[in-house]
Amino acid sequence: MSEGLKIIVPIKQVPETTEVEFDEETGTLKREGVAAIINPFDEFAIEEGLRLKEKHGGEVNVLTMGPPWAADALRDAIAMGADKGWLVTDRAFAGADTWATSLTLAKSIEKMDGYDLIICGLKTTDGDTGQTGPEMAEHLNIPHVCYVNEIIDVKDGKVVLKRNLDDGVETLEAPLPLLITVGKDINQPRLATLRGRIKAKKAEIKEITNSDLQLDPKEIGLEGSFTRVVKIFEPEQHEAGEVVEGTVEELVDAIYQKLQECKVI
Amino acid sequence: MSEAPVQVMDGCIGCGLCVDSCPFDAIEMVDEVAVITEACRACGECVDACPSGVIVMKEAAEAVLTDYKGVMVYAEHRNGRVHPVSYELLGKAQELAAQLMEPVYAVIVGSGVGAGAEELVSRGADKVFVYDDPALKDFRDDPYSDLLTQCCNEEKPSIFLVGATSIGRSMGPRVAAQLKTGLTADCTSLSIDDETGFLWQTRPAYGGNIMATIYTPMSRPQMATVRYKMFPEAKKVDNPKGVIINKTVNMNMVKDRVKVLGFEEAKEQVSITDADIIVSGGLGMGESTGFELMQKLATALGGAVGASRPTVDEGWIDYRHQVGLSGRTVRPQVYLACGISGAVQHQAGMKTSDVIIAVNKDPEAPIFRISNLGVVGDLYEVVPRLIEKIKEQ
Amino acid sequence: MKWFPVSLKRSRSNRKMPEFAELTPEHRAELESIVGKENVSSTQEDLDKHAIDESPLDPHPPTLVVKPGSTSEVSRVLKLANENMIPVTPQGSRTGLSGASHPIHAGIALSLERMNRIIEIDEDNLMAVMEPGVLISDAHEAIAKHGLYYPPDPGQESGSVGGNISTNAGGMRAMKYGVTRDFINGLEVVLASGEVIEMGGKNIKDSTGYSLIDLIIGSEGTLGVVTKATLRLIPQFKYTALIYAPFKSTIDAANTVREIVRQKIMPFGLEYMTQHTVLTVEKYLERKLPDNSHPAYLIVAVEANTKEELERQLETAGEICLDMGAVDAYIADTAQRQNQIWEARKAVFDAYLAMYTLDEADICIPRSKIPEYVERAEAIGEKYGVLLAPVGHAGDGNLHYNIIKLDETPEEEWPELMESALSDLIDMSHEMGGTASGEHGLGYTKRHYLVREVGSTQVELMKGIKAVFDPKGILNPSKVWV
């Protein structure tokens, strides 16, 4: 790796708040007036990419799929220190579920300047699925490792890393090219600097449309999506608080029952 | 529109009866001809309603979907011991399968997983597919997902459920991508739609601020990862009739690119920022030793100990335990506040917890206003008895 | 933590306090009939709780804690106390830093915590009417829901509206917006006699007579008890962002503050911290700030209604920082990134409190004097062998000097060292035309600095005013002056 690591960080622009307002009439979300930001989990991915670049050399390319204004997210990433931004944008890509999104992104990555490592945030704060990364790896036919919390070493085309599982931490060795997803315990993302932002404003954003990818319309966008949304609705509110008095045994029973309802015992 | 499972052939008279018949508002009249939109769920109502008989189900779609039968559960395990979420899924699978009148399958991959397979049979699985090979001892995304893909291609289940554990959420997407089917992440409820027989998969999005119900109309199996502790476990059945089917494993036919070098089990001591359960003590404990009791309860529940600011100021406990505006903000599944009055400073750090339980002597304590359950009582009576009860069960 | 302000001891002998009466069971019964039995308490827990604020002063438990629920209850309690010479200490949420809510002479701790209703948010007049027990965080939250803002933003969000009025609290946004006084448009006040008076209201202008409302604001509960307040609101800006800039020297950072003011940029927040503070708060929150390896830091916060305007302000302020010697200018533009830094800034006092023995000076000087002050203060720390950690609302000249005990200082020497350092810091502030307290108030622990600052003529005027409002001297006795 004399030229260093070629890193791609796919990111997504998400609404700044998850306190979404729900329009009862149309059954859709009100997105008006909500600022758009880089998915917070993707910031960890960008940061890890930048740290690897600082250590091993190479470059960090950021990639996003979305409407033209999603380029703002790419510029934010460039302000943090990423080298180049790629915007995958086409009306035909709209409405995609994770399968169609991951296919489109995978095909776009194949059109970019090559890669050793793809780093994704472990999920987005809007969709919350965490599926696009591993599905992308499958479409690219490369291995993936989710929930990476530490990259120990990158050497001789191999990465030694640790990942969080529910019951402990696993140490793995994976070959490059590789896709990983990372969460908040891997690093603390840096803030963009003023100089970085000024540079990012002028940075060129490369666009990829379906005329570049030539994907079958049946495989992209809403039409290429295997899942459909029947409805969205607001979750039931917390029940009104109940205050109980009584004998010790009654009180203990009340707590015990609540703990059971919460499925923690 | 080409993907709509229902087709309008030439000869539509534009009567609109199909529009009225459609339960999903999936038919529009365009230039006095019925057009099936993407909202179509192939229920067939319009086929029956059409007086001219020009609305037909698309043969291909029909054939593909009906080829798939059975509700399959992935049995996750660590060293052969099946993860409880898989038994929960098995229970749910039985319910769904009964409604669909389809069999219940489980699939297990690993080394020396025979006992696990038997347990799945004893809990009511009709067929358990076993991929057992020494080379499969440690979970790896590559071979496991390849084998599950293989199993789905061979057995053609209509539904395939995977626990939304870290393993399930890592491997599930790979399987779905290979099978070219939809996958709904982290579901909290599953049901069969009466009209169509499709699996309705409900899940939270936007950090739990909204719920979405999702279905998979055009591809099979209908896949979902499902959150742990949402359903009761499948119970042992009286006369298990299920069978174990050993599948051959050819490691040369599966990918295996990532090597496991080691595994370190999670430490007991959980930090309050990550804990699912937090037991917090306040000044109402009266003295610093109260935290020993809090620690006992936290240990019994597998949680961490939190503290209100005054207790930290008093030096009863280290500031790392402090929850609140000036300490840490936490959002556990359960927050148990003992002897904490609930100053706004404290509330700011914990009020978004999923469930708040408070124990306090003072029935007017502000903490009760934000609690799901308030218990008016002496924590030194209630908590020790609660610990006993948890240990008894 | 036991200590006695040195100069306080000296002055105590020649002061004469009014003869206060003890609370009797009859008084208690009467109080219970006014506010309800459950709202009069003498449990140890309540007495302990109402004996302190957040200053390092030893507790002063009241005889009774009384929690009125309405203006008329406050009125009847005060009438009873006034007739019987019972001292009354009004209390909000007791987060003050100079002992103003300590019941020095015991008697009644009049806790206004139950009077916490937000009565009205009037979008037509941009005013909010609320009771004194409403917490600042709750007020901010309720007001924000209407797209409006109440600018006074003291770090301590669990402080009460009443408490903020009593100390004329300032906070993070004073540079641009001013302090509590600038946003209080009307007050309902109960006098010591029990008489209820209303001042101001929803009028923006008022030239009628003396501004009594301005006497009440900042009077630390010595002139009357606020039972209702009308707050002036402003529309919220759409976008905010901040710069976190590390500097190679404290003087560079201090000079930058002056330059930002001179260049006529008006950030809504301009905060100064040193490395010691950054490291302390990082340890306390177990979280890193964007940089911790430089001697001094500025936080510059800007707001605008368009992205372009926000960007322009960021660039101008950022360029000034870089020109004046900032090593870098980190930019936090999302709500989450900004919150992380504000949370850290607001946790500073708690972090110091958790890890050190300290008191805090609250001086405020003309902004042009900041570099000189910062430089000379270092010598004061050395002179007394105490650690000085300044954290400040530098944009308005208000610097909080945390005076911290070094590990090697013996406990018994600490009170005197601390008081001497505090005294020197305040003297230096006076020398530069500054004040002893920018926003905390003098309360009890700093009351002996009043005469030094304003001279005896003004103190006598204040005493005269006090005598008119509270002839018997029952309201929060022994506060503000000696």
pLDDT of residue A22: 67
Residue contact C331–A79, C-beta within 8 A? yes
Whether C226 and C127 share a structural domain: yes
Whether C224 and C248 share a structural domain: no
Spans of chain B, pLDDT less than 50: 1-2, 60-62
Class in CATH terms, B277-392: alpha beta
Residues 228-287, chain B, touching C (beta carbon < 8 A):
283-284
**Domain ranges across chain A:** 5-219
Burial class of residue C461 in the structure, from the number of CB atoms within 10 Å of its CB (0-12 exposed, 13-18 middle, 19+ buried): exposed
Fold adopted by B6-65: Alpha-Beta Plaits (3.30.70)
Q: ipTM score here?
A: 0.90
Check whether A42 has a pLDDT greater than 70. yes
Whether C400 and C373 share a structural domain: yes
Q: What is the mean pLDDT of chain B?
A: 89
Averaged pLDDT for residues A127-132: 92
Whether C123 and C227 share a structural domain: yes
User: Into how many domains does chain C fold?
Assistant: 4
Query: Which of C132, C129, C130, C127 lies closest to C111, judged by CA?
Result: C132
CATH number at residue C66: 3.30.43.10
Whether C52 and C95 share a structural domain: yes
The Cα–Cα gap between B305 and B275 comes to 9
Query: Tens-of-pLDDT digits for all 482 residues of chain C?
Result: 334 444 444 444 444 667 899 999 999 999 999 999 999 999 998 999 999 998 989 999 999 999 999 999 999 999 999 999 999 999 999 999 999 999 999 999 999 999 999 999 999 999 999 999 999 988 998 999 999 999 998 877 789 999 999 999 998 899 999 999 999 999 999 999 999 999 999 999 999 999 999 999 999 999 999 999 999 999 999 999 999 999 999 999 999 998 998 888 889 999 999 999 999 999 988 888 999 999 999 999 999 999 999 999 999 999 999 999 999 999 999 988 898 899 899 889 889 988 898 889 999 999 999 999 999 999 999 999 999 999 989 999 999 999 999 999 999 999 999 999 999 999 999 999 999 999 999 999 999 999 999 999 999 999 999 999 999 999 999 999 98
Out of C51, C79, C114, a domain closes at C114
| CATH number for the domain running over B68-253 | 3.40.50.620
Residue contact C330–A193, C-beta within 8 A? yes
Residue contact B354–A175, C-beta within 8 A? no
Burial class of residue B34 in the structure, from the number of CB atoms within 10 Å of its CB (0-12 exposed, 13-18 middle, 19+ buried): buried
A72 neighbors A36 (Cβ within 8 angstroms) = yes
Whether C169 and C274 share a structural domain: no
Residue B258 identity:
V
Out of C182, C204, C235, a domain closes at C235
From the centroid of its chain, how far is CA C322?
Answer: 32
Residue contact C350–B327, C-beta within 8 A? yes
Whether C362 and C337 share a structural domain: no
DSSP state of A172: E
Residue contact B215–A97, C-beta within 8 A? no
Residues 6+ apart with CB under 8 A from B270: B302, B303, B304
Whether C204 and C230 share a structural domain: yes
CATH number at residue C312: 3.30.70.2190
Whether C134 and C196 share a structural domain: yes
The Cα–Cα gap between C473 and C482 comes to 14
Residue C462 lies in a domain: no
Check whether A216 has a pLDDT greater than 80. yes
Find the helix or strand (DSSP H, E) in which B176 lies.
helix B166-179
Residue A229 tokens, joined: 């949304």
Contacts of A41 in chain C (CB under 8 A): none
User: Homologous superfamily of A5-219 in CATH?
Assistant: HUPs (3.40.50.620)
Residue C66 lies in a domain: yes
Residue range(s) of every CATH 3.40.50.1220 domain in chain B: 277-392
Residue contact B78–A227, C-beta within 8 A? no
Residue range(s) of every CATH 3.40.50.620 domain in chain B: 68-253
Domain residues for the domain of C385 are: 356-440
Whether C130 and C190 share a structural domain: yes
Whether C136 and C228 share a structural domain: yes
Nearest to B312 among C45, C286, C354 (CB): C354
CATH number at residue C402: 3.30.70.2740
The answer to whether B351 faces chain C, any CB pair under 8 Å, is no
Kindly report the nearest CA distance between residue A118 and chain B, in angstroms.
Answer: 15
The answer to whether C137 faces chain B, any CB pair under 8 Å, is yes
Out of C92, C114, C136, a domain closes at C114
CATH number at residue C134: 3.30.465.10
pLDDT of residue B272: 82
Residues 6+ apart with CB under 8 A from B315: B288
Model confidence band, residue A237 (pLDDT cutoffs 50, 70, 90): low
Quote the pTM value.
Answer: 0.81
- Sequence length of chain B is 393
The answer to whether A195 faces chain C, any CB pair under 8 Å, is yes
Whether C339 and C372 share a structural domain: no
